[in-house]
């Protein structure tokens, strides 16, 4: 690419910011369209790919353009230690909705009900991708494609369907919502087409989502401990689901 900055400014505002080597690596690995990618030290970045991601090394070789450090710093909200940044094309909403709605669905969908913390949302998307979940849906005002969320998710938004929906638009499947008053999750087998819903740490489940819920479940927790971190709760629940299925990831 002879003029990465021209391509950057054309896509800025609509493209997905991939901040750092690992975000770019994961996006490429899971089929993202990446029109522009830059690095302060191209040779060092490709050496990192040789070490950590040889499967995408040739793709990165074709993508990366070296730029001065001052140019790189002007493109990012704060510099990443790997000094790599890219813009990717966001998957179409229609394609994501089709994945979320398909039946039979081979793996659960995770729903974050009105989440507030961008970093926690990113961590949940990373977990969901690791467990092979079909998707992550947020309700409320938080944008699950916000650059901070994408950074927290290490570019793994492209490994699962990520969308913001209303409660009325949630995909089909039995809704299992986590709540301290629910049945102990250890006595329940979660089906592959489950919709796993998690409220915010501060306010819990909304009344609207609670009304949509088929089963309330609780995680084992020591007395006098008030709650788990949201990402921890999601990880525990997905692990419980994975232990009840023989399907390979």
Rounded percentage of the chain residues whose pLDDT exceeds 70: 97
64-66 sheet: strands from edge to edge: 16-19, 84-88, 36-39, 64-66
Identify whether residues 200 and 221 lie together within a single domain: yes
CATH number at residue 30: 3.30.1330
Mean pLDDT of the chain: 92
* Whole-number Å distance between alpha carbons of 32 and 63: 12
Beta strands 161-164 and 135-138: pairing type? parallel
Question: Are 158 and 26 contacting, i.e. CB atoms less than 8 angstroms apart?
Answer: yes
pTM: 0.92
Identify whether residues 129 and 80 lie together within a single domain: no
In sequence order, what are the residues at sequence separation of 6 or more whose Cβ sits closer than 8 angstroms to the Cβ of residue 187?
none
pLDDT higher than threshold 50 for residue 1? no
**Domain end marker among 88, 121, 148:** 88
The string of pLDDT tens digits covering residues 114-128 is 999 999 999 999 999
Give pLDDT, residue 13.
Answer: 74
pLDDT higher than threshold 90 for residue 142? yes
Identify whether residues 219 and 143 lie together within a single domain: yes
Identify whether residues 8 and 107 lie together within a single domain: no
The string of pLDDT tens digits covering residues 198-232 is 998 777 899 999 999 999 999 998 887 877 899 99
Domain that holds residue 80: 4-88
From the CB of residue 196, how many other CB atoms can be counted at a distance below 10 Å?
26
Rounded percentage of the chain residues whose pLDDT exceeds 90: 82
Identify whether residues 206 and 103 lie together within a single domain: yes
pLDDT higher than threshold 50 for residue 51? yes
Residue 249 resides in a domain = no
């Amino acid at each position: 690419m002879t003029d990465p900055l021209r391509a950057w400014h054309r896509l800025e505002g609509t493209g997905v910011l991939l901040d750092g080597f690992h975000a770019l690596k994961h996006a490429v690995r899971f089929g993202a369209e990446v029109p522009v990618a830059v690095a302060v030290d191209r040779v060092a970045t490709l050496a990192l790919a040789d070490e950590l991601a040889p499967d995408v090394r040739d793709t990165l070789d074709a993508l990366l353009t070296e730029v001065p450090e001052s140019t790189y710093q002007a493109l990012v909200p704060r510099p990443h230690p790997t000094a790599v940044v890219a813009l990717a094309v966001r998957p179409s909403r229609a394609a994501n909705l089709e994945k979320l709605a398909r039946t039979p669905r081979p793996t659960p969908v995770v729903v974050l009900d009105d989440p507030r913390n961008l970093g926690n949302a990113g961590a949940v998307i990373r977990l969901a991708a690791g467990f092979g979940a079909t998707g992550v849906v947020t309700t409320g005002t938080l944008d699950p494609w916000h650059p901070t969320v994408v950074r927290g998710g290490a570019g793994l938004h492209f490994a699962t369907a990520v969308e913001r929906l209303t409660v009325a638009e949630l995909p089909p499947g039995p809704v299992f919502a986590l709540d301290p008053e629910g049945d102990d999750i250890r006595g329940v087998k979660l089906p592959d087409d489950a919709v796993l819903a998690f409220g915010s740490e501060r306010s819990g489940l909304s009344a609207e989502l609670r009304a949509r819920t088929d089963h309330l479940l609780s995680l084992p927790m020591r007395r006098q401990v008030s709650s788990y971190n949201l990402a921890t709760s999601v990880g525990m629940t997905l692990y419980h689901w994975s232990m009840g299925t023989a399907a390979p990831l």
